[in-house]
Amino acid sequence: MNACDIADSREGAAPLWPKIGETRAAMQRRGQIAFGGFLIVVWAGLSWVLLAKGGLYIAKHEGDTMHLIDMVLRQADGEWAHLDYMSPIGFLATAPIALFVELGFGVGMAILAAQALVGGLLLLPIFWVGISRLKTAWAMVFGALCLVLCMALVHGEAQPSISVSMHYNRWAWALAFLAISIAILPPVQRENRTLDGLILGLAVAGMALIKVTYVAAFLPGVLLALVLRRQFRAMRVAVLAGLAVAVLVTLFAGPAFWFAYLGDVLTVTGSETRPQPGLSLNGVIAAPAYLGGSIAALVAVVLLRQAGRATEGLILLVLVPGFFFVTYQNFGNDPQWLYLLGVLLFALRPAPGTTNAHGWDMRQALALAGCAIFMLGLPSAINLAFSPFRHLASSEDEFVPMFARSEQHGDIFAMPARNATPTGTIKLPVLVEAARAGESEEDDGPTLLLGEELPECGLAGGTVTVYDGIVRDLETSGFAGITPLGADLLASYWLFGDLGRLEGGAPWRYAGLPGVESASHLLVPLCPLDRKARKSMIEAMAAGGYGLKEVHRNEVYVLLEIEAP
């Protein structure tokens, strides 16, 4: 065959490189289909596991659950967070649950259905991040992490007991994973800056309306990433999407909503009774349980820069303080950013053969760093992922209804082993003057109620039994229908029986006297959940000029009628 024959044989035939391109495109399509199918299967499977039990069975954090239900039932009755009750938690943290309660669900199933709903709403954003920025295998890891955060039944850490406490932190982390991934990872397969901006804007708005801490922590890093990558179109779309959400909320709640929200957040930041939910910020960074992750994050910044990823390294450096701050703000101080950082390091590995000045293989170095970070976060990740299955396998014989007298909300259960016999702590008397001289500055003297020194004890276990028992005693003692203000962290007595709900109250009290104008009585527990809260409330009543007249007491609480100043 001569040259002309060869040329003729190639006429009308596609060159070799389009065939290779078509094969690569086909592989990408197959990978995207596999990823989409994987997300649907994981979401559907977890949804079935959540709902199949027919109720919610919690094994710890009963007080936090009461706090959540207080907010949910208020919202289901048409109240707005910040406007109608005090809370630093945004209304979107409870809106999906309140929606199902309005539809007639019991609060237990409403919580579970809301978890499935949130996971379902994030399927498309997760899919876009996966197909645009990650190879199929890592997209599946990322997608599974996001869905598990949405649908787990424990807040994190390695203690396996079922709890819905602080579910909103998990939801906000899932949104943060989306926003940060879009910001720091360059598109590798598909690019659509409008869609990037839309997801970014909605994710940031969602975080703001769930827990504004996440926005304060991560927005600087996200903005820096958009500027460094010159993603100005995505930035414009994100701003428009965020503004659209703000306008929508303002139309329904009114402009005062935002000022009330800010006021609640500032009240919490200045709270003396609960300035932080766990370790100090220094502890979250440098305590033995956290120092490994902190060092790994800083090492990751250095390795990215040495791998030729200077932009990504700088963005991560700005994000790391935000990781620390959110961990400090969340009860349990669980560094759930570790899962995201592991995925990011594997996604940002350079091309094979890339070395640093010392001759290290930087692709391998980032892979090793990613593995180390995954190992640090593995106990918490496993606990989150297995929690719905542990809930499904739990023995119903070990639980009793939390609200035994409620027709609608009899589908949430607590363990009598934790609640049947209330337990508490007491403050032992100081035996010698030398010991007294070394007392903490936090010990500011006894709590006085109308000149009587109250016991220095606190409720440690049996919260449900105590609150239920107090309400039953009030009803049998002729005080059914009153609206009590509780001198404690939680004032959710109305959940357990025939009592009025405080207008303008606080499901979780941080400072001041929220709801006192609508209260008829002050209920002072002798062993409260928090002695500081009890003491500060009694002192605030006196400072506000409110009169108190004792009308009933027993071995658990004192009830006083409130006389307006």
Q: Which two tokens mark 239?
A: 């701003």
Given this model, what pLDDT does residue 274 score?
Answer: 66
pLDDT digits (tens, 9 = 90+) for 467-479: 999 999 999 999 9
User: Residue 179 burial (CB < 10 Å; 0-12/13-18/19+)?
Assistant: buried
461/380 same-domain check: no
Range of the domain at 330: 34-392
Co-location of 347 and 380 in the same domain = yes
Give the whole-number percent of the chain exceeding pLDDT 90. Answer: 78
To the nearest whole percent, how much of the chain has pLDDT over 70? 92
User: Could you tell me if 49 and 392 are in contact, meaning their C-beta atoms sit under 8 angstroms apart?
Assistant: yes
Interstrand relation of 484-486 and 521-525 (parallel, antiparallel or unpaired):
parallel
Instruction: Give the length of the chain.
Output: 565
In a domain, 212, yes or no: yes
What is the average pLDDT across 99-111? 97
pLDDT digits over 337-351, tens only?
999 999 999 999 999
Q: Is the pLDDT assigned to residue 1 strictly greater than 60?
A: no
Amino acid at 250: T
Model pLDDT, residue 275: 61
Count other Cβ atoms within 10 Å, centred on residue 415: 19
pLDDT of residue 14: 45
Please check whether residues 387 and 422 belong to one and the same domain: no
pLDDT digits (tens, 9 = 90+) for 166-182: 999 999 999 999 999 99
User: Is the confidence at residue 29, as pLDDT, over 70?
Assistant: yes
Residue 314 is assigned to a structural domain of this protein: yes
| CA 149 – CA 64 distance, rounded (Å) | 19
Same-domain status, 516 and 548 = yes
**Domain count within the chain:** 2
Q: Quick check: is 351 in a domain?
A: yes
Q: What is the pLDDT of residue 22?
A: 60
Q: Is 55 exposed, middle or buried (0-12, 13-18, 19+ CB in 10 A)?
A: middle
Do residues 500 and 494 lie in contact, with contact meaning Cβ atoms separated by under 8 Å? yes
259 and 347 within one domain? yes
Is residue 480 situated within a structural domain? yes
Q: Looking at residue 16, what is its pLDDT?
A: 46
Say what the pLDDT of residue 461 is: 87
Confidence of residue 443 (pLDDT cuts 50, 70, 90): low
The C-alpha angle 490, 484, 452, rounded to 5 degrees, equals 85
How far apart (Å, rounded) are the C-alpha atoms in residues 559 and 542? 16
Residue 504 tokens read as 């303008």
One domain, residues 425 and 386: no
At 255, list the tokens.
Answer: 């402009």
Three-state secondary structure of 114-183: HHHHHHHHCHHHHHHHHHHHCCHHHHHHHHHHHHHHHHCCCCCCCCCCCCCCCHHHHHHHHHHHHHHHHH
Confidence grade of residue 512 (pLDDT, cut at 50, 70, 90) = confident
454: confidence class by pLDDT, cuts 50, 70, 90: very high
Q: Per-residue pLDDT averaged across 245-255, rounded?
A: 96
Average predicted confidence (pLDDT) for the chain = 90
Residue 4 has pLDDT above 60, yes or no: no
> Is the domain of 85 the same as that of 164?
yes
Residue 142 has pLDDT above 50, yes or no: yes
Q: How far is CA 494 from CA 78, 105, 481, in A?
A: 17, 19, 9
Is residue 441's pLDDT more than 70?
A: no
Angle (deg, nearest 10), helices 167-184 and 310-329 = 170
Distances 166 to 152, 212, 333, 381, 474 between C-alpha atoms, Å: 11, 14, 12, 16, 31
pLDDT at residue 21, as a whole number: 55
Q: Could you tell me if 294 and 420 lie in one domain?
A: no
Question: Is the pLDDT score of 25 beyond 80?
Answer: no
b/e map 529-562, b = 16+ CB within 10 Å = bbbbbbbbbbeebeeeebebeeebeeeebbbbeb
User: Is residue 384 in a domain?
Assistant: yes
Q: What is the pLDDT of residue 78?
A: 94
Q: Report helix, strand or coil for 461.
A: strand
**Cross-strand bridge partners of residue 553:** 558
> What's the one-letter identity of residue 19?
K
Write down the pLDDT at residue 424.
Answer: 82
How many other C-beta atoms lie within 10 A of the C-beta of residue 275? 11
Burial 230-254 (b: 16+ CB within 10 A, else e): ebeebbebbeebbeebeeebeeebe
242 found inside a domain? yes
The region of weakest confidence among 116-120, 145-149, 328-332, 424-428 is: 424-428
Cα 444 to Cα 447: distance, rounded to the nearest angstrom: 9
- Same domain for 329 and 468, yes or no, is no
Rounded to the nearest 5°, which phi and psi values hold at 268? -70, -40
pLDDT of 10 reads 39
Residue 138: the pLDDT is 96
Question: What is the predicted pLDDT for the residue at 2?
Answer: 42
Q: Are residues 303 and 361 in the same domain?
A: yes
Categorize the per-residue pLDDT at 3 as very low, low, confident or very high, splitting at 50, 70 and 90: very low
Do 343 and 246 have their domain in common?
Answer: yes
Residue 8 lies in a domain: no
In a domain, 398, yes or no: no
Instruction: Residue 43: count other Cβ atoms within 10 Å of its Cβ.
Output: 21
Q: Are residues 63 and 175 in the same domain?
A: yes
Find the range with the poorest average confidence among 17-31, 186-200, 414-428, 506-520.
Answer: 17-31
CB 536 within 8 A of CB 438: no
Residues 6+ away with beta carbon under 8 Å from 416 = 398, 399, 400
